[in-house]
């Protein structure tokens, strides 16, 4: 069994970063301390080299994750070992804070990479869901998250068949909420817009689909995969063998080209991983704010406030301003949590250094 690495997204740029004497592979799944890796000569279950384990213990961000390109070394005992995680071009990092089992926040969190080397981030929002219409605020959050990862967001208004009458207006509103982002209407049920989604995956790009439960993500994945979410003949180089059994895979090569990453972590990803993406998704308000007379303008009635002026002229929707304020409050809070963690780390580091200094001082004759 073999894989065509180009169809898994391997590029000349990445090849230049591969250490001599190793072979490349892409992580399709991780288990504790081991990964499933797709390589030119097949699929391998590999353990991490000692230096990878050490680096990961010091900083969880160094842990291999789904989507990573890695260098494999052949060991004398006849198996591969994961020797290095190649530089990531993009990453979804759950940093600083993490959600605990009851959905609250636990402050002990350390950065954790949920998926790497994701080129395209589809943000799926149903045109209509139960009695609700598309939630623009949620789109803004997820687009911010997408920017933060380094990937390119693409908004998909799903289930477009349910809201045909208002679709044009809705798309216009969504385009205002996500400046500079491609916005498409999709109906997996009717097969409309699916080919546009596929176009974003051309060139063997890797994507994730974010969105609320019931947005139609799974239905869209099946539409993209042509009904079966499994490896296909096309991705596996011809090897004369038939299709093999479906294995739970989190990196899914699609028959039409391109790959999807679908993991529980990515499905649960939410607000708490946004960081500076907020500035990008609200670039219109940010640039208005730069025109305010006072550098520290709070946009609450100060003279010469460009933000409120735009609001009065009807150029800035009230909803969007509120959304921005809300996200900013949350971002500040998250930043303060993260900083608290950093401060603590710094303090610990200094404690160790001081201890060392005292020790070496005592040791002196
Ligand atoms: N009318 C209509 N219904 C759709 C469309 N796509 C999906 N649905 C329906 O919406 C419901 C939810 O779809 P799913 O694909 O399971 O949604 P999901 O986003 O994967 O949901 P989770 O797995 O909970 O995250 C199902 O009943 C689908 O049949 C569509 O294009 N039009
Ligand atoms: Zn202002």
Q: pLDDT, tens digit, for every residue of 180-225?
A: 899 999 999 999 999 999 999 999 999 999 988 788 888 898 888 8
CA of 139 to the centre of ligand 2 (A): 24
Q: Domain coordinates of the chain in residue numbers?
A: 5-85, 91-271, 277-363
ipTM of model: 0.96
Q: What is the pLDDT of residue 230?
A: 42
- CATH number for 91-271 (one of 3.40.50.970, 2.160.20.10, 3.40.50.300, 3.30.2130.10): it is 3.40.50.300
Among all bound ligands, the one having the nearest atom to the CA of 161 is: 1
Average pLDDT rounded to a whole number, residues 123-142: 84
336 vs 301 pLDDT, higher one? 301
Q: What is the pLDDT of residue 11?
A: 94
CB neighbourhood size of 4 (10 A):
15
Over the stretch 153-185, which tens digit does the pLDDT of each residue have?
Answer: 999 999 999 988 889 999 999 998 898 899 999
Asked if 188 and 219 count as a contact pair (C-beta separation under 8 A), the reply is yes
Residue 211 CA: nearest ligand 1 atom is: 19
CA of 339 to the centre of ligand 2 (A): 27
Among all bound ligands, the one having the nearest atom to the CA of 266 is: 1
Q: What is the pLDDT of residue 365?
A: 38
5 vs 269 pLDDT, higher one? 5
CA of 220 to the centre of ligand 1 (A): 8
Average pLDDT rounded to a whole number, residues 318-328: 83
Q: What is the SS3 assignment for 125? A: strand
**How, if at all, do strands 206-210 and 259-261 pair?**
parallel
Q: To 10 degrees, what angle do helices 136-149 and 318-363 make?
A: 40
Average pLDDT rounded to a whole number, residues 230-243: 44
Please check the confidence at residue 92 and state whether its pLDDT lies above 80: yes
Q: What average pLDDT does the structure give for the chain?
A: 80
Please check the confidence at residue 9 and state whether its pLDDT lies above 80: yes
Question: CA-CA distance, 120 to 99, in Å (whole number)?
Answer: 25
To the nearest whole percent, how much of the chain has pLDDT over 70? 75
Ligand 1 pocket by Cβ (under 6 Å): 158-159, 161-162, 187-189, 211, 213-219
Rg, C-alpha atoms of the chain: 24
CATH superfamily of 5-85: Nucleic acid-binding proteins (2.40.50.140)
Q: What is the pLDDT of residue 207?
A: 97
Taking alpha carbons only, the member of 167, 152, 111 closest to residue 277 is 152
Question: CA-CA distance, 167 to 346, in Å (whole number)?
Answer: 52
CATH class of 277-363: mainly alpha
Taking alpha carbons only, the member of 35, 2, 90 closest to residue 249 is 35
Q: What is the SS3 assignment for 132? A: strand
Ligand 1 atom 6: the closest Cα is on which residue? 216
18 vs 246 pLDDT, higher one? 18
Asked if 185 and 162 count as a contact pair (C-beta separation under 8 A), the reply is no
Q: How confident is the model at residue 243 (pLDDT cuts 50, 70, 90)?
A: very low
Among 216, 218, 229, 260, which is best to mutate for testing ligand 1, by the most ligand atoms less than 8 A from CB? 216
Over the stretch 18-42, which tens digit does the pLDDT of each residue have?
Answer: 999 999 999 999 988 899 999 999 9
Report which DSSP code applies to 180. Answer: T
Q: What is the pLDDT of residue 359?
A: 54
């Amino acid at each position: 069994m073999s894989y065509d690495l180009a169809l898994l997204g391997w590029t000349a740029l990445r090849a230049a970063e591969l250490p001599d004497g190793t072979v490349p592979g892409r992580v399709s799944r991780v288990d504790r301390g081991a990964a499933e890796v797709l390589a030119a000569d097949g699929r391998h279950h590999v353990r991490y080299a000692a230096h990878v384990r050490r680096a990961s213990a010091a900083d969880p961000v160094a842990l291999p994750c789904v989507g990573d390109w890695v260098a494999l070394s052949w060991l004398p005992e006849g198996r591969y070992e994961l020797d290095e995680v190649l530089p990531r071009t993009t990453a979804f990092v759950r940093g600083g804070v993490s959600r605990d089992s009851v959905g609250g926040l636990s402050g002990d969190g350390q950065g954790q990479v949920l998926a790497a080397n994701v080129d395209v981030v589809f943000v799926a929002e149903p045109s209509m869901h139960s009695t609700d219409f598309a939630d623009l605020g949620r789109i803004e959050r997820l687009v911010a998250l997408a920017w933060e990862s380094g990937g390119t967001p693409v908004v998909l208004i799903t289930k477009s068949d349910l809201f045909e009458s208002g679709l044009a207006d809705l798309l216009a509103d969504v385009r205002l909420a996500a400046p500079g982002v491609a916005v498409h209407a999709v109906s997996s049920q009717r097969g409309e817009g699916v080919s546009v989604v596929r176009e974003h995956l051309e060139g063997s790009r890797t994507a994730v689909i974010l969105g609320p439960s019931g947005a139609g993500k799974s239905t869209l994945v099946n539409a993209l995969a042509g009904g079966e979410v499994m490896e296909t003949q096309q991705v596996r180089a011809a090897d004369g063998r038939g299709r093999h059994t479906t294995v739970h895979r989190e990196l899914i090569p699609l028959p039409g080209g391109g790959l999807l990453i679908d993991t529980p972590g990515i499905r649960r990803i939410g607000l708490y991983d946004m960081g500076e993406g907020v500035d990008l998704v609200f670039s219109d308000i940010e640039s208005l704010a730069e025109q305010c007379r006072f550098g520290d303008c709070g946009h609450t009635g100060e003279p010469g406030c460009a933000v409120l002026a735009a609001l009065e002229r009807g150029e800035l929707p009230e909803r969007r301003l509120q959304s921005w304020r809300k996200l900013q409050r949350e971002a500040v809070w998250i930043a303060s949590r993260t900083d608290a963690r950093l401060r603590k780390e710094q303090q610990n580091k200094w404690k160790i250094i001081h201890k060392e200094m005292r020790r070496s001082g005592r040791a002196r004759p």
